[in-house]
Amino acid sequence: MTKLAIMGAMEEEIEPLLAHFENVNVVEFANNKYYEVNYNGLEIVIAYSKIGKVFASLTAATMIEKFGCDTLLFSGVAGGINPELKIGDLIVADKLCQHDLDITAFGHPNGYVPGGKVFVETTKSLREIAIKVANENNLKVIEGTIATGDQFVHSTERKDFIQSTFNADALEMEGASVAVVCDALNVPFFILRAISDTADMDAGFDFDEFLKSSAKNSADYLIKIVKEL
């Protein structure tokens, strides 16, 4: 029996998801709120972690270890790097990395620490369902690499570093930590983002303007995927 975790980082990212459900039970735990719903015979737990890799790791691990979720879907917004990605466009992560994890002083590559790996791959079977849903709904979606770091990127200098170092298509602040947690706990997971800005000097303004609409794009697509699970 699948128990599904649906996660975002910000309230604005899960609000459009919660809107689809009634009879929501709220569980308070570890300075956060976890929303339990039943949907199409599925038990679902929904939460937003708060921003950044640490909060995202705590929430992902909690949804799996405490709530017993056996599949995790993430929905949210991201900064676009790949010029094909326009504001509002959807990206499904096929792999994720941490662009601010750096022990290069010891000759290691960016994003690597001993015992870890630079890229963590998402679950192929979930990506395949997502692509099928996109085709059925005539949605333009790209699959690509998402780079995660504990900073809001708003300069072409940092954006270019991330692009050239990891060949990343988009960037955000939680995905790779969710990936490490799910990979370590052997839980299938899926990371979906809609572009809110292009991580350059206009990023802050674009983010404010497009957070809500892009979060809704991602949420609406995620709900269609949930219906196929």
Long-range contacts of 182-185 (CB under 8 A, 24+ apart): 182/60, 182/64, 182/72, 183/120, 185/61, 185/64, 185/65
What's the token pair of residue 191?
A: 């990371």
* Residues near ligand 4EZ (CB under 6 A), total: 17
Closest approach, Cβ 44 to ligand 4EZ, in A, equals 22
Question: Please, which residue, 45 or 173, has the CB nearer to ligand 4EZ?
Answer: 173
Binds ligand 4EZ by CB under 6 A, chosen from 97, 191, 192, 203: 203
> How many angstroms separate the Cα of 66 from the Cα of each of 41, 70, 117, 184?
21, 11, 26, 16
b/e sequence 192-205, b meaning 16+ C-beta within 10 Å:
bbbbbbbbbeebee
Identify whether 94 is a catalytic site residue: no
What's the token pair of residue 125?
A: 């079977």
> Residue written as tokens 């679902």?
44
Question: Does residue 174 belong to the site contacting ligand 4EZ (CB under 6 A)?
Answer: yes
Question: Does residue 199 belong to the site contacting ligand 4EZ (CB under 6 A)?
Answer: yes
> Which among 18-26, 76-84, 97-105, 112-120 is the span making contact with ligand 4EZ, rule CB under 6 A?
76-84
Catalytic residue among 89, 169, 174, 197: 197
Question: Does residue 161 belong to the site contacting ligand 4EZ (CB under 6 A)?
Answer: no
Question: Does residue 14 belong to the site contacting ligand 4EZ (CB under 6 A)?
Answer: no
Question: Does residue 192 belong to the site contacting ligand 4EZ (CB under 6 A)?
Answer: no
Catalytic residue among 13, 169, 174, 206: 13
Question: Does residue 47 belong to the site contacting ligand 4EZ (CB under 6 A)?
Answer: no
| Angstrom distance (rounded) from CA 55 to CA 178 | 10
Tell me the chain's radius of gyration from C-alpha atoms: 16
Question: Does residue 89 belong to the site contacting ligand 4EZ (CB under 6 A)?
Answer: no
Question: Please, which residue, 190 or 207, has the CB nearer to ligand 4EZ?
Answer: 207
Beta-sheet pairing, 42-48 with 32-39: antiparallel
Return the DSSP state at 118. S
Identify whether 100 is a catalytic site residue: no
Instruction: Kindly list the residues in this chain that would bind ligand 4EZ in the complex (CB under 6 A).
Output: 9, 51, 76-79, 152-153, 171-174, 196-197, 199, 203, 207
Residues serving a catalytic function are 13, 197
